[in-house]
């Protein structure tokens, strides 16, 4: 593209170079020269029009219908070949998911250490945040068109499911749900990207830091100005509709989750408890879930003692457990030099 024939000062040339380097999509150069007769402004307007026209073409080429089962890779290559764009210029399809819409992308067979499952992938735009997420669901058996299908709606927990954290029961509940639908040869586990009850991974780590000073999971969020729970379940409704599931038996301990799903229009006919055994590090978290967030745990967080023994019931724990107060903290050692060996208070 030719520029107007004009002299450029050293400062203007440097400004031009910086402008070109600052953006890969910069279609024009505005010269800081009063003698260019408005040429810079004309080029800017022309570049803006060209950029908008190119974006409209991309948007038309990459939009997919909700019923499309194209994989991300095949859709990417298809739209790139149609529009003539390179991989660097390609705009992901997920940018164009309609508001509050959940798009089915693909299904595959997945072998796991627990058995063989059907794995389905979706893209979803949140109705309030407008953030694009990618829900998935693990399916065992043919659930389409059935009633009272066992369904677990599980929210992501990177710290426990990937890093092996013992501070919560999330990984245990996920494993329990996958094993339940396998053993019963029917069911669905819907996995949502809603880390830390919706506040996100970094905020969750910040809340963990606050908890080190003694706050529980609810108070830690509030001290950081974060909500107790902002998870939403419109994607679940759409996935249940996509699978043509008439009603669900929900695997949960959380009354709020039942209420939110019913508000979304999901027909919840019964509840399947997902109570796991606590450990020395998850006791306080589970206690807060039951006492402050009304989770139905039946005092399961009491089923172990300060020596680390685990019992099958609260009565057995009360009868046989060692509940001496060792008054240890994270940084203190006992008489044998063990750190937090006999309980954390």
Residues that are catalytic: 229, 231
Task: Check: CB of residue 180 under 8 Å from CB of residue 139.
Answer: no
With vertex at residue 253, the alpha carbon angle to CA 248 and CA 254, rounded to the nearest 5 degrees, is: 85
CA distance 306 to 326: 8
What spatial distance separates the first Cα and last Cα of the chain, rounded to whole Å? 71
- Token code pair at residue 151: 């369904």
């Amino acid at each position: 593209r030719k520029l107007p024939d004009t002299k450029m000062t050293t400062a203007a040339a440097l400004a031009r170079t910086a402008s070109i380097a600052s953006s890969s999509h910069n279609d024009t150069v505005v010269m800081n020269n009063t003698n260019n007769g408005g040429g810079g402004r004309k080029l800017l307007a022309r570049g803006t029009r060209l950029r908008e026209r190119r974006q409209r073409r991309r948007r038309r080429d990459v939009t997919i219908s909700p019923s499309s089962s194209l994989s991300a890779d095949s859709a990417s290559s298809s739209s790139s070949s149609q529009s003539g764009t390179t991989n660097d210029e390609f705009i992901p399809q997920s940018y164009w998911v309609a508001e509050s819409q959940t798009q089915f992308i693909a299904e595959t067979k997945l072998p796991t250490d627990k058995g063989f499952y059907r794995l389905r992938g979706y893209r979803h735009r949140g109705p309030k945040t407008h953030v694009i997420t990618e829900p998935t669901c693990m399916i065992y058996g043919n659930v389409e068109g059935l009633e009272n299908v066992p369904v677990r709606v599980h929210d992501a927990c990177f710290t426990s499911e990937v890093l092996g954290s013992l501070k919560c029961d999330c990984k245990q509940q996920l494993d329990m749900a996958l094993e339940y639908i396998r053993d019963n040869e029917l069911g669905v586990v819907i996995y949502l990207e809603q880390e830390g009850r919706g506040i996100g991974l970094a905020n969750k780590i910040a809340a963990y830091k606050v908890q080190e000073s003694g706050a529980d999971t609810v108070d830690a969020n509030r001290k950081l100005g974060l909500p107790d729970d902002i998870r939403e379940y419109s994607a679940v409704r759409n996935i249940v509709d996509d699978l043509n599931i008439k009603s669900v038996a929900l695997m949960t301990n959380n009354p709020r989750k039942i209420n939110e799903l019913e508000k979304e229009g999901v027909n919840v006919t019964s509840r399947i408890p997902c109570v796991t055994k606590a450990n020395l590090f998850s006791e306080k978290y589970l206690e807060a879930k039951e006492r402050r967030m009304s989770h139905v745990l039946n005092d399961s967080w009491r089923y172990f003692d300060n020596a680390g023994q685990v019992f099958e019931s609260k009565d057995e724990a009360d009868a046989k457990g060692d509940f001496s107060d060792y008054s240890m903290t994270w940084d203190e050692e006992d008489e044998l030099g063990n750190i937090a060996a006999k309980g954390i208070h």
